[in-house]
Amino acid sequence: MLSVELWLTFVGTAIGVVVIPGPGVLLTMAHSLEYGARRTLGTIGGCLTANLFHQMLVGAGVGGLVAQYPGVLETLKYFGALSPARERSTCHATSRATQQRPSSSCRASR
């Protein structure tokens, strides 16, 4: 059985997570304003898939692995930081090779 303090901490955190919009909600709102509701369904599906993947990692015990081996967290941070940088360089190379303006996904990442 949970203690009252732990339960109140959980409830307070859950309310905060629900009330404060995260990056997925902000991305979905921006896409719906720019592209319309129908074209935003892919964004919503992507956000839901990412959340499911994150929950599966947590359920598989990656959090315990990170807690036990701090080097794993550092490695994950570096891979996470490299991903946007790689995307920007790919967008730049693509737009330069085709002599066209970058696509909307490349412009959004700048």
What confidence tens digit (pLDDT) does each residue in 43-73 have? 999 999 998 998 898 888 888 888 898 898 8
Q: How far apart are the first and last CA of the chain?
A: 49
CA dihedral of residues 74, 77, 82, 87 (deg, nearest 10): 160
What confidence tens digit (pLDDT) does each residue in 5-46 have? 998 998 998 888 878 888 888 999 999 999 999 999 999 999
Residue-by-residue DSSP string for 3-45: -HHHHHHHHHHHHHHHHS--HHHHHHHHHHHHH-TGGGHHHHH
Residue-by-residue DSSP string for 63-106: HHHHHH-HHHHHHHHHHHHHHHHHHHHHHHHHHHHHTSPPPHHH
User: What is the model's pTM?
Assistant: 0.53
Half-sphere exposure of 95 (CA within 13 A, CB side): 14
